[in-house]
Amino acid sequence: MKMIKKLYNLAKESNIVIENYRPGVREKLGVDPQTLFKLNSNLVYLSVKGFRSNSIYNDKPAYDMIIQAMSGLMLTTGRENDPPVRIPFVLFDIITGEMAAIYALSGLYSNAKPYYAEVYLFDSALFAMSYIPMMYLIANQKPKRLGSAHPSMDEVKKKFINKA
């Protein structure tokens, strides 16, 4: 309880609170937006989650490697007949953090206070992968395994030589 009181004191003086608790944890701890907005009506409260609340996965933990698989990224890396390959760094964790920073700054400059927003790891992955998930969802077109090639540069590289 001592730590929660310290958090309340910080929230009274803070501009932004960012949390990434599993569903139900912040309410159990008493650090939910409604509680903190009572302490500071100008607060920007940002919740980073793995999945949207209407997702069947909303109560599941989300880690970058899991999101790489679920988003389809692992189907685009590696060679054609190899098993799915993850990239060796936490790309979607990084992108989600960048998205969270954008949301937090938007909240700071917004006239609507208090300000609440949610950022989702899975949504950030779909955003980062651009058209690849959309081609699958709209046209049922599975991504090609490209190794390290670019999906639309195959023909270009056959006609031009690049010098670095």
**pLDDT tens by residue, 124-163:** 999 998 888 788 888 888 877 877 677 666 655 556 555 6
This prediction's pTM? 0.82
Upstream peptide bond of 114 is cis (omega within 30 degrees of 0)? yes
Query: Residue 14 — very low, low, confident or very high, per pLDDT cuts 50/70/90?
Result: very high
- Give the pLDDT of residue 76: 85
Q: Catalytic residue at 20?
A: no
Question: Does 116 or 76 have the greater pLDDT score?
Answer: 116
- Give the pLDDT of residue 79: 84
Catalytic residue among 2, 5, 150, 163: 150
**How far from each other are the two terminal CA atoms of the chain, in whole angstroms?**
59
Outline where DSSP puts E strands in the chain.
16-19, 44-49, 115-120
In the predicted structure, residue 3 carries a pLDDT above the cut 70: yes
Domains delineated in the chain:
2-159 (3.40.50.10540)
Residue range 49-84, pLDDT digits in tens: 999 999 999 989 899 999 999 998 888 888 888 888
Question: Does 149 or 87 have the greater pLDDT score?
Answer: 87
